[in-house]
């Protein structure tokens, strides 16, 4: 099959993301397996708990090991590596269950860090105290110090990750992907949001290696 037509899947900690060459679908694990187990599909996965179930599907091919990125470390999530393959230079933010921030320079991986996802952060505050249970203020101003609990929490989540990402941009393009990528990108000037970035990286590697 040609790399342009093959179904591609990025199996994350919460969802199955499937690209059919035209659009991206976000499915629950069971739903994705039921719908696509008879289709030819190449996937990468960070969901180790699913490995046994998925490896039994004869028409699916695990291409995680082909995503190896120059300079990357052994336990770096394969979705982060695929994302970094999408462009040779930039700061790459994948905002899903976790928020990963990775820096690429001339095709070499420079390092990165991990932050909990927005939903996980809100759950964390609630677990500390019922008084800290709140929703995210998605339009919070970062220009002035908050003076309410809801804003103090929203600011703690958004302004801290923004302050750290800003420190690492240094003239590089800033790319966002993932379920909360669009929202998070609104707090940055000149940020690029693109839900295709991980698949772009996978397609680039597939094209180079002809693995699918």
- Residue 53 touching a copy of itself (CB under 8 A): no
- Residues that are catalytic: 79
- Give 164 or 207: the residue with its C-beta nearer to a copy of itself: 164
Sign of the CA dihedral 57, 211, 27, 198? Answer: positive
When binding is defined by CB under 8 A, the residue of 6, 98, 197, 212 that contacts a copy of itself is 98
Q: Give the shortest CB-33-to-a copy of itself separation in angstroms.
A: 20
Which residues have CB under 8 Å from 176's CB, separation 6+? 93, 94, 95, 182, 184, 185, 188, 191, 192, 193, 194
d(CA 196, CA 211): 20
Give the DSSP letter of residue 134: -
Nearer CB in complex with a copy of itself: 8/72:
72
The Cα 110–Cα 70 span in angstroms is: 9
Among 39, 40, 136, 156, binds a copy of itself (CB under 8 A): 156
Q: Give the whole-angstrom CA distance, residue 37 versus residue 29.
A: 11
Q: Is 131 in the site for a copy of itself (CB under 8 A)?
A: yes
Closer by beta carbon to a copy of itself, 22 or else 129: 129
Considering only 1-9, 28-36, 122-130, 195-203, which stretch makes contact with a copy of itself by CB under 8 A?
Answer: 122-130
Cβ at position 54, least distance to a copy of itself in Å: 16
């Amino acid at each position: 099959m040609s790399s342009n037509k093959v179904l591609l899947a990025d199996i994350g900690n919460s969802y199955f993301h499937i690209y059919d060459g035209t659009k991206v679908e976000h499915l629950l694990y069971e739903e994705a397996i039921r719908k696509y187990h008879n289709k030819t599909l190449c996937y990468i996965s960070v969901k180790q708990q699913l490995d046994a179930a998925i490896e039994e599907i004869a028409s699916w091919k695990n291409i995680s090991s082909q995503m190896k990125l120059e300079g990357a470390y052994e336990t770096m999530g394969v979705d982060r590596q695929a994302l970094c393959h999408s462009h040779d230079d930039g700061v790459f933010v994948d905002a899903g269950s976790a928020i990963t921030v990775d820096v690429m320079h001339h095709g070499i991986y420079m390092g990165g860090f991990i932050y909990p996802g927005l939903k996980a952060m809100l759950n964390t505050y609630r677990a500390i105290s019922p008084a800290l249970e709140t929703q995210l203020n998605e339009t919070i101003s970062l220009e002035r110090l908050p003076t309410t609990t809801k804003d103090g929490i929203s600011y703690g989540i958004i302004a801290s990750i923004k302050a750290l990402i800003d420190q690492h941009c240094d003239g590089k393009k800033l790319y966002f992907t993932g379920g909360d990528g669009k929202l998070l990108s609104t707090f940055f000037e000149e940020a690029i949001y693109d839900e295709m970035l991980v698949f772009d990286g996978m397609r680039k590697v597939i094209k180079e290696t002809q693995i699918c």
